[in-house]
Amino acid sequence: MKKNFFSALAAVLVSGVMLAAAGCAPTAKAFDSPDATLSVNGETDTTDARNIISDTLFGVFLEDINYASYAMDDNLVANGLFEATTMSHWQIANGASISRNETGGVSGGCATVSIGQHDGSVINTGFAPAPMAVEKGVEYNFSAFIKATDYDGKVTISVRNQQKALAQAEITVSQSEEWVKYSAVLKATETADEGLSLYLTFAESGSLDLDGVALETTDSTVGIKNYMYEPVKELSPKFVRFPGGCVIEGKNMDSTYDWKNSIGVGEDGKATELTYTSVAADGTSQTVTTTGEPVTRTPNTDIWQVGSNYYQMEYGIGFYEYFLLCESLGASAIPILNCGIACMIQSNGADLPGRNGNGAEDYIQDALDLVAFAIGDPDSTDENEAYWASVRAAMGHEEPFDMHYVGIGNEQWGRYFDRYEMFIEAFKEAAESNPLYGKVELIVGNGAVFTDTETNGSGGLARLEALAYQAAGKIEKVSEYGVHDHHYYMNYTDFLKNTDHYDSYSREENTRYDVFVGEYSANQTSGAFSTKNNSWMTALSEAAYMTGLERNGDVVKLAAYAPMYGCVDSSLNQWAVDMMYFTNTELVRSANYYVQQIFMLNQGKYLMESELAYADGMESTFKIVGASNAIVDKLYTVASTDGETGDLIIKIVNASPEDIRINIELSDVSVAGNAVVTELQSDDSEAVNQLGDIVISPKTSELKVGGTFGYLSMCYSVTVIRIPVK
């Protein structure tokens, strides 16, 4: 059901090394009459800040949009907390009934089940955008809290289609006035991915209360199904921005993402600690105490909900799991928090009251508490830091997480900046008494379009506010205002025409500032600029733009394609263009995904001096037919060195419809072995990767290079040449 790209790539690389050892790697001879020459100087001043590329430049953005969390979550049960206002995703059979109680659950609501005759069943149909699926030999962990006030007997737990059970176990429930957590392990005897539901079939008549129903696959990592997790791991991102995006803003209190809800914080503002009896399928029991258990997490409605369709943020994957995900990927965490203003695009941007009705003060406290939760010390003399750090430790992670930034708000403007400045001042004041709060840098929102940035339109929304804040004497340097979060979704021609966008940004000490390109992709494909969603041309344009990001890696500290996940069934998506597309068992990596991957796996540390020159009579630009006849460059390049291996890394993007012969001149470079060449290419600029038809993916080979060598840059291609040096 899954394919490990790295295994395949490793096999290719090993084969290449064996061929090289046998003297079989082809020699890249220089062209007598090249179309262009790329000169690369192997010497660079590594102490010059202009040449130092951010070591966290390329990462990923994970938003709960297009029902992504439902596909990611290793729990296959939908609405198992019974917090939705309806009994969505629950059915009954053989005389059973189920109804929701708003109160009385382990934490919040629960369901009351009545069984009028033996073999009555309650049935969960799973998440519609990611239906239940089982794989032969894989184990699935069932658990549920049951208060059996009027039931004593066996319950069969099974995953079934209309014909038979494909995984099954049995528990024995004892009559009790207390909540007891029952668990069992089901092992699938067959593989199936459609028409499945979870059945709880009761051997006796009676009634009981039910809460926190879960069926979790063991084919998962840190709570995320492996087929969704592994492609992210294979990207090797330097950071993960989460959980949004618009989901953190919401339209009202009910639909804003609440990080404290996501770890089980109750109305009293404290994380919920549960002590209960846990009973396994074999009848053994133990007393367990947990903090932040999923059953204690109060869901919020996702802002991307369409009509009355069920789209609850159930928080099976909450902030704690997001931090664990980052750690497992070797990536730093970049959480984004609500600033206390609702979404200015999808609603009227009203002030939100906050957890305690204190407005902005509540959201500022939430941000300070998150810092304590993520990187605080449980033994701190600061009581607030110690408390939230101890919550993290109680959830299972004694050591702090890797977090250096916190985003405040998302795609907001106008009076947002007054609100954001309240966060600056609160963090500054907090840091005066506790250095912990000075260890993170705030990220300021900057509108939602390309014209909100410097050198375009207004000259940069956040930049203008920062300059005014500086002029008022609140900060000495513009950089103290925070990292500026730029978002833009443009046509592919705009990406090709703006690869130099950050070249002119200030590097002066008092006026420079760092940039986070928090969301970008080539997804505006209407009218004269029409091309297919996720076509190879859109990916090429993003690759060209990324050469500019790396070339300006001293200013652009972080950048992430957005969003990460969409459904293969496009009718389910709220956002059409995504990096990857899922079914309930498979994931399609788009061409855009592979561009991100080869840039992430080949990010340089130091920028090398390089110059591209075309031969006399060779046009450096071409006209994109059908895109308002836009004229753009043919080639886009950047050269850098790997900070660990010292490898020289040359990236070449050929966005044109013609092959181009390039001579690469290496100055002051002592080659130590064969170059590894990784290429993405298709003759069809509108080619699209689809389920079962991956037409664009990396191909790796080796070349003997040195001095001046030739490389044929194929039409519509992205190439990385890694050259080991002495």
The string of pLDDT tens digits covering residues 637-669 is 999 999 999 999 999 999 999 999 999 999 999
Confidence tier at 18 by pLDDT (50, 70, 90)? very low
- On the question of pLDDT at 220 being above 90, the answer is yes
Query: DSSP character for 579?
Result: S
**Alpha-helical segments (H) within 581-675:** 591-600
Total domains, the chain: 3
Q: Are residues 581 and 516 in the same domain?
A: yes
**Cβ(319)–Cβ(337) under 8 Å?**
no
Same domain, 351 and 497: yes
Is residue 2 predicted with pLDDT exceeding 60? no
Integer angstrom CA distances of residue 623 from 156, 543, 546, 615, 634? 66, 18, 21, 19, 9
Please report the pLDDT score of residue 526 as a whole number.
66
Assess whether pLDDT exceeds 90 at residue 387: yes
Which of 223, 297, 225, 221 has its CA nearest to residue 259? 297
Determine the Cα–Cα distance for residues 194 and 126; give it in Å rounded to an integer: 11
Residue 467 forms part of a structural domain: yes
Same domain? For 304 and 320 the reply is yes
Cβ atoms of 61 and 561 closer than 8 Å: yes
On the question of a cis peptide bond just before residue 245, with omega within 30 degrees of 0, the verdict is: yes
My answer on whether 117 and 213 are in the same domain is yes
Per-residue confidence band for 307, with pLDDT thresholds at 50, 70 and 90: confident
Q: Which is higher by pLDDT, 17 or 624?
A: 624
Mean pLDDT across the chain? 94
pLDDT at 85: 85
Are residues 200 and 240 located together in one domain of the fold? no
> Is the backbone of residue 379 left (phi > 0), alpha (psi -120 to 50) or beta?
alpha
Q: Which of 544, 465, 470 is nearest to 501 (CA)?
A: 544
Q: How deeply is 478 buried, as exposed, middle or buried, from its count of CB atoms within 10 A (0-12, 13-18, 19+)? A: buried
**What does the alpha-carbon distance between residue 262 and residue 315 come to, in Å, rounded to a whole number?**
5
Q: Would you say residue 694 lies in a domain?
A: yes
Same domain, 593 and 691: no
Q: Are residues 440 and 573 part of one domain?
A: yes
pLDDT for residue 19 is more than 90? no
Check whether 288 has a pLDDT greater than 50. Answer: yes
Provide CB contacts within 8 A for 433, sequence distance 6+: 382
Residue 265 lies in a domain: no
Q: Is residue 334 part of a domain?
A: yes
pLDDT of residue 6: 39
pLDDT exceeding 70 applies to what percent of the chain?
96
Phi/psi-derived region of residue 375, left when phi > 0, alpha when psi is between -120 and 50, beta in every other case = alpha
Is the pLDDT score of 248 beyond 90?
yes
Say whether both 80 and 64 belong to one domain. Answer: no
What residues make up the domain containing 180? 75-217
Strands (E), 23-161: 36-41, 58-61, 90-93, 96-101, 110-115, 120-124, 126-127, 130-131, 139-150, 153-160
- Whats the size of the chain, residue-wise? 726
pLDDT of residue 365: 98
- Weakest mean pLDDT among 18-27, 190-199, 425-434: 18-27
pLDDT at position 629, please? 82
Which of 3, 55, 59, 56 lies closest to 596 in space, CA to CA?
Answer: 59
Residues 6+ positions from 21 with CB-CB distance below 8 Å: none
Domain end position, chosen among 189, 217, 245? 217
What pLDDT is stored for residue 457 in this prediction? 61
Distance from CA of residue 349 to its chain's centroid? 25
Specify the pLDDT at position 524: 75
Distance, in Å, from the CA atom of 175 to the CA atom of 155, rounded to the nearest integer, reads: 13
Give CA–CA dist 304/244, Å, rounded. 11
Tell which wins on pLDDT, 528 or 442: 442
Mean pLDDT on 422-437? 98
Check whether 17 has a pLDDT greater than 50: no
Give the residue-averaged pLDDT of 179-204: 98
Mean pLDDT, range 622-635, rounded to an integer = 88
pLDDT for 290: 98
In-domain check, residue 88: yes
Domain boundary among 201, 217, 233: 217
Residue 139 has pLDDT above 60, yes or no: yes
Assign 371 to helix, strand or coil: helix
Q: Give yes or no: residues 585 and 688 share one domain.
A: no
- With cut-offs at 50, 70 and 90, classify the pLDDT of residue 13: very low
697's torsion region: left (phi>0), alpha (psi -120 to 50) or beta? beta
Q: The domain spanning residue 652 has which CATH number? A: 2.60.40.1180
Distance CA 235, CA 667 (A): 32
Can you count the helices (H) and strands (E) in the chain?
11, 41
- Mean pLDDT, range 100-113, rounded to an integer: 95
- How would DSSP label each residue in 244-298? -SGGGT-SSGGGS--TTGGGTB-TTSSBPEEEEEEE-TTS-EEEEEEES-GGG--
Q: Has residue 100 been placed in a domain?
A: yes
SS (H, E, C) 61-96: ECCCCCCHHHHHECECCCCCCCCCCCCCCEEEECCE
CA-CA distance, 112 to 115, in Å (whole number)?
10
Among residues 600, 618, 635, the one where a domain terminates is: 600
CA 177 to chain CA centroid, nearest Å: 43
pLDDT surpassing 70 at residue 23: no
pLDDT band with cut points at 50, 70 and 90 for residue 456? low
481 belongs to a structural domain: yes
CATH number at residue 130: 2.60.120.260
Asked whether the predicted pLDDT for residue 420 surpasses 60, the reply is: yes
Residues 667-695 pLDDT 10s: 999 999 999 999 999 999 999 999 999 99
The answer on 501 and 430 residing in a single domain is yes
Give yes or no for residue 459 having a pLDDT over 90: no
579 and 478 part of one domain: yes
With respect to residue 357, please indicate whether it lies within any of the assigned structural domains.
yes
Residue 136: what pLDDT? Answer: 98
Same structural domain, 499 and 561? yes
Backbone angles phi, psi at 615, to 5 degrees: -70, 155
